[in-house]
Amino acid sequence: MLLIDFCDLSSNDLQVTAIAAPDSSQTRDHSLNSPTWSESSWYHVRIEVVPITNSTRQLRGRVRFHLHPTFVPNVQDVQSRDNKTILKLRAWGAFTVGIEVFDEPYTQLELDLADSPKVTAPVEFRKL
């Protein structure tokens, strides 16, 4: 298991944002007894790492996302394209994501999908 200390949570030239939207393709199965499956929906989640406005930093390399342990795989590498890095996934609730940017300078970031003002998501997603 890889443990990383994300103590440097800010960056002078990068920002992380996320959007979670209900997955309308999923239908609820009310025959299931588990409240997790019968009372919640799946959400499309898009996490984006980009340089802040007026930054000279260019994202060109690999970015590693450390997800909740329930994701398989829970560590995902994404190649930056067009000066941004985007991870798309499906989730049924909020979690904290750790991010490593391997470009120079190496940067570690963290985003709490439940509490961060940089996340656009329904209250139901944030509470799960």
Asked if pLDDT for residue 3 goes beyond 60, the answer is: no
Q: Which of 23-32, 70-79, 97-106, 113-122 has the lowest mean pLDDT?
A: 23-32
pLDDT band at 60 (very low <50, low <70, confident <90, very high): very high
Beta strands in 59-114 (DSSP E): 62-66, 75-79, 85-91, 96-101, 107-112
pLDDT of residue 125: 86
Q: Could you tell me which of 38, 57, 41, 59 has the C-alpha nearest to residue 49? A: 59
pLDDT of residue 1: 25
Percent share of the chain, pLDDT over 90? 41
Domains of the chain in start order, with CATH, are 14-24+35-127 (2.60.40.1970)
Strands 119-120 and 14-22: parallel
Asked if pLDDT for residue 96 goes beyond 90, the answer is: yes
Residue-wise pLDDT for 32-49, tens only, equals: 333 333 345 789 999 999
